[in-house]
């Protein structure tokens, strides 16, 4: 089974609107971390936001927030007030327990329309 599933290969959003990128995960560990990365066309992976499995509050970092629903095993990324520079690939990732391996999803390509 896939550890991380991203079901939206591509998404479009109007500039200044909010967009939600979906991510579901699969683990039997009680302790895990969930991450979102942005990968522009230049190729570099940029860390956006982190959510720990024991965190009671949803993580927020500026315009990024993570909608964490533990029972549903989902960790959706919400980008508010989209900007043209947000156009990129977005990857959800998970680290289980104290392990060091990150499991990445297949990504969602986001295009912001002016």
Partner 1 sequence: DTGVSQDPRHKITKRGQNVTFRCDPISEHNRLYWYRQTLGQGPEFLTYFQNEAQLEKSRLLSDRFSAERPKGSFSTLEIQRTEQGDSAMYLCASSRGLAGGFSYNEQFFGPGTRLTVL
Sites of contact with partner 1 (CB under 8 A): 4, 31, 33, 35, 37, 42-47, 50, 52, 91, 93, 95, 97-98, 100-107
Give the residue with the Cβ less far from partner 1, 85 or 114.
Answer: 85
Q: How far apart are CA 45 and CA 29, in angstroms?
A: 26
Nearest approach, Cβ of 104 to partner 1 (angstroms)? 3
Question: How do 32-39 and 24-25 pair as beta strands?
Answer: unpaired
Nearest approach, Cβ of 82 to partner 1 (angstroms)? 22
Burial track 40-75 (b if 16+ CB lie within 10 A, e otherwise): eeeeeeeebbebebeeeeebeeeebbbbbeeeeebb
Nearest approach, Cβ of 15 to partner 1 (angstroms)? 26
Give the residue with the Cβ less far from partner 1, 35 or 68.
Answer: 35
User: Helix-strand-coil percent breakdown of the chain, rounded to 5?
Assistant: 5, 50, 45
Nearest approach, Cβ of 91 to partner 1 (angstroms)? 5
Give the residue with the Cβ less far from partner 1, 44 or 114.
Answer: 44
């Amino acid at each position: 089974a896939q550890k991380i599933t991203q079901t939206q290969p591509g998404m479009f959003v109007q500039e200044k609107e909010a967009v939600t990128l979906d991510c579901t995960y699969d683990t039997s560990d009680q302790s895990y971390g969930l991450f979102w990365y942005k990968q522009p066309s230049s190729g570099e992976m940029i860390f956006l936001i982190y959510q720990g499995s024991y965190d009671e509050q949803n993580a927020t970092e500026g315009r990024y927030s993570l909608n964490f629903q533990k029972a549903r095993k989902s960790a959706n990324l919400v980008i508010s007030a989209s900007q043209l520079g947000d156009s990129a690939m977005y990857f959800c990732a998970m680290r289980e327990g104290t392990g060091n391996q990150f499991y990445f999803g297949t990504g969602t390509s986001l295009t912001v329309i002016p």
